[in-house]
Amino acid sequence: RRLGVRRLVFAASSSAYGDTPTLPKREDMPPAPMSPYAVTKLTCEHYVRVFSELYGLETISLRYFNVFGPNQLPDGAYAAAIPRFIKAALTGAPIQIFGDGEQTRDFCFVDNAVHANLLAADTKTELRGQVVNIAGGRRITLNELVREIGRVLGKPLDVRHVDPRPGDIRHSLADISKAKELIGYEPLVRWEEGIKPTIEFLRDLLDKGL
């Protein structure tokens, strides 16, 4: 605001919805965050909206759903499922799934997230703190994800199921119609098409010993 910035695009998160059973997730649904991370993301949505209302700074919050792709690292306690699964598959380690693997996710390849940011930055629509979902608009189970990784690699994968993780969401699917209406967003890359380039990135990373 001090520097005269006209528009701010905030990286929000689908975790704001929590584990509400209604699908698909719509932006007008009451939020129900289940983790400290989700609480901070939801708080920032309110923060940037208030700046729009009080000071006229254009803002929008993009609620990303399970973004994945090259340059996403597979390590850490909260590493995303796809790079974590792929690293295990490439190294011959068992793939660890929290729960039965029938939980669903709406995976969004990184190109789609970048596309959404550029649309939000350039749209002629006046932005006043709106919140929109950014996703692929489809959902799959983690078991289906593992099968697809195995298909691309051409080998069966060893899967180990462990106890569910507290705070994890059972099912997730985005309604992306508002993003289409407001900023013209539509996914450019299906999640299946994103698996191969993600594998290639992680294979190169492992080959370099990183």
Closest CA relative to residue 14, chosen from 25, 29, 1, 3: 25
Cα angle 123-195-83, degrees, rounded to a multiple of 5 = 95
Give residue 165's region: left, alpha or beta (phi > 0; psi -120 to 50).
Answer: beta
Cα angle 133-134-135, degrees, rounded to a multiple of 5 = 115
Catalytic residue among 37, 55, 64, 78: 37
CA distance 163 to 97: 8
Strands (E), the chain: 7-13, 58-64, 67-68, 95-98, 104-105, 108-109, 130-134, 140-141, 159-162
The answer to whether 17 is a known catalytic residue is no
Closest CA relative to residue 127, chosen from 31, 6, 14, 22: 6
List, by residue number, the catalytic residues. Answer: 37
